[in-house]
Amino acid sequence: MFFGSLFMIVGLSGCVEEEETYAGFENLTFEEWPLTDCSTSTSPLRDIVAFKLLGVPYKWEEHFITMGTYKIYPDFSAAEGKFSSRDFYEKNQCSGTHGAYMNLIEGQTDVIIASRDISRNEKDSANILGVELETAPLATDALVFIVNPKNPVKNLSTEQLKGIYTGKITNWKEVGGEDHTITPYLRDADSGSQEKMETLVMKGLKMVDGPELVGSSMMSPYLQLENDEYGIAYTPYYYRTVMMRDLIEVNVLSIDGVTPDKKSLREGRYPFTSSIYAAVRKSESHDSMAYRLYEFLFTKKGGKMVDESGYIALQN
């Protein structure tokens, strides 16, 4: 079942066989490669870009540690350059959305791919340090709402969601479900998911104090809903469909009658469509490898890598 769904996802099929040249990166060495960082959900895209430009074969497999997500595994022994896994991950961190922005602001990394644009708090931190960032939307994602598979509710309106997360709606029977209290789970304050929830859905409304999630990782809502038939949570569409897939079973709700899928996201019909972003410091020299990598992400060949990762490229 898992392997069937694995190969049904367009562009995510196994090892890289095709060799392609990339103008400006033909003789790229690992020593020249800039420091990069990313969100948890954008790590596959960052890795695909790095592995292709550095000549490292890779494939998708279930994560051997968490056994709860799929990730990209490289074969460094077959890399064109001579560098180890440790070398690679020292230069290519994955600090989460907030961590990646703060590392970029503080000069600990050079270019990032993040699940959202810079936040107000991060801008304030940048202003204090006298740093300006250049950010731009790179690909389409969305915020989706998930429930336990036993929950009979399949669709919620935007107003019902707001009611649940402001505490005005407290029972599933109020939205067509069973007579039972709703448990609305929230993500941690600096996460990309929480930022999207506040800006795309709540839009200034005060959110109810939800119960604590088990852990603060992106898997936490899934682990919680495994055992909570009456909970509701939110997660990036990409993380659900590409990284999590069917390893933990949840139902994804349609919103205002629109099912979140690639077609509805591409057409902008799903109400909580969002973008992932690339960012670099404005002070970065345009001749630097960091800025050249940043620019490359928005080219046609960069867009092909975005599509291969499972995101929907804005540049094609």
Model confidence band, residue 210 (pLDDT cutoffs 50, 70, 90): confident
**How far apart are alpha carbons 142 and 116 in whole angstroms?**
10
- Is residue 274 within 8 Å of 116, Cβ to Cβ? yes
Show the tokens assigned to 296.
């490359």
Structure tokens at 285: 């020299």
Average pLDDT score over the chain? 90
308 with 48: CB under 8 angstroms? yes
The candidate with the shortest Cα–Cα distance to 58, out of 85, 35, 25, 36, is 85
Q: Which domains does the chain have, with CATH numbers?
A: 2-140+275-313 (3.40.190.10), 141-273 (3.40.190.10)
Tokens coding 113: 């791919």
Indicate the pTM of the whole model.
Answer: 0.83
Q: Sorting pLDDT into bands at 50, 70 and 90, what band is 181?
A: very high
Q: What confidence score (pLDDT) does residue 20 get? A: 75
Q: Lowest-pLDDT range, 2-6, 103-107, 186-190, 311-315?
A: 2-6
Q: Is 223 helix (H, G, I), strand (E, B) or coil?
A: helix
Q: For 7-28, write each residue's pLDDT tens digit.
A: 333 344 444 445 577 888 988 9
**Helix ranges restricted to H, 144-261:** 158-166, 192-196, 220-227, 237-238
- CA Rg, the chain, in Å? 20
Confidence of residue 64 (pLDDT cuts 50, 70, 90): confident
Q: Read off the DSSP letter of residue 14.
A: S
* pLDDT, mean of residues 81-101: 94
Helix 289-296 and helix 43-54, axial crossing angle in degrees, nearest 10: 110
Q: For residue 3, what pLDDT is reported?
A: 37
Query: Does residue 5 have a pLDDT over 50?
Result: no
Residue 3, SS3? helix
Asked if 264 and 102 touch (Cβ cutoff 8 Å), the reply is no
